[in-house]
């Protein structure tokens, strides 16, 4: 006895939906791996920013110390003022660049998080469609309610705050 056409179509549609669901699962795993990689990159950038901040603070302390000790000759004092101004300008520029990179990374992470949420919602919808098709065809349900849903991971997003301008820093106000 040959299977009826509606059952064959339903089985094919069910298989296609299962393939789509499998593909989305792989996509979600890939996006999660990319998100983890972005987080590691962000942590590295944050560490570099902190190291740069420490180095710049040390540089400003040296400049302040030399100024306090004082140089007796006016040429040396003028040269030190110019160097100090350049260091401050470089510090502000570096600070702004790192802040921009941090904000870009945060935006990227938020966008990826939204994509993952959308894919998870679509996966749930496909599961419901598959179950509906199986019920409509009186097929045994592979998901009988005893299966456990994977808990949604809420990534611990570290708050990355703007780095305050420290002592001897330029304040644009």
Task: Please report, for the chain, the start and end positions of each structural domain, with discontinuous segments joined by +.
Answer: 7-136
Q: Which of 46, 37, 22, 49 is nearest to 155 (CA)?
A: 37
Q: CA 41 to CA 63: how far, in whole Å?
A: 33
Q: Tell me: the pLDDT tens digits for 55-114?
A: 999 988 888 777 777 655 667 678 878 999 999 999 999 999 989 999 999 999 999 999
Q: Band the pLDDT of 150: cuts 50, 70, 90.
A: low
Q: Tell me: the pLDDT tens digits for 1-34?
A: 455 667 888 899 999 999 999 999 999 999 999 9
Q: Which CATH architecture has domain 7-136?
A: Orthogonal Bundle (1.10)
Q: CA 54 to CA 41: how far, in whole Å?
A: 20
User: Taking the model in full, what pTM does it have?
Assistant: 0.32
Q: Band the pLDDT of 157: cuts 50, 70, 90.
A: low
Task: Give pLDDT, residue 96.
Answer: 93
Q: CA 123 to CA 136: how far, in whole Å?
A: 20
Q: Which residue has the higher pLDDT, 41 or 169?
A: 41
Give me the mean pLDDT over the 143-161 stretch. 58
């Amino acid at each position: 006895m040959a299977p009826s056409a509606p059952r064959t179509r339903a089985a094919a549609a069910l298989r296609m939906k299962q393939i789509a669901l499998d593909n989305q699962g792989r996509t979600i795993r890939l996006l999660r791996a990319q998100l983890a990689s972005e987080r590691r990159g962000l942590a590295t950038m944050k560490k570099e920013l902190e190291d740069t901040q420490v180095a710049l603070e040390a540089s400003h302390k040296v400049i302040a110390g030399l100024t306090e000790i004082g140089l007796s000759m006016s040429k040396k004092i003028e040269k030190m003022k110019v160097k100090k101004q350049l260091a401050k300008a470089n510090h502000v520029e570096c600070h702004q660049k790192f802040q921009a990179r941090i904000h870009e990374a945060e935006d990227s992470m938020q966008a990826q998080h939204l994509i993952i949420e959308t894919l998870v919602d679509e996966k749930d919808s496909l599961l419901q469609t598959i179950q509906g098709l199986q019920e409509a065809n009186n097929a045994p349900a592979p998901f009988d309610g005893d299966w456990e849903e994977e808990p949604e991971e809420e990534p611990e997003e570290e708050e990355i705050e703007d780095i305050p301008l420290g002592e001897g820093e330029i304040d644009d106000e």
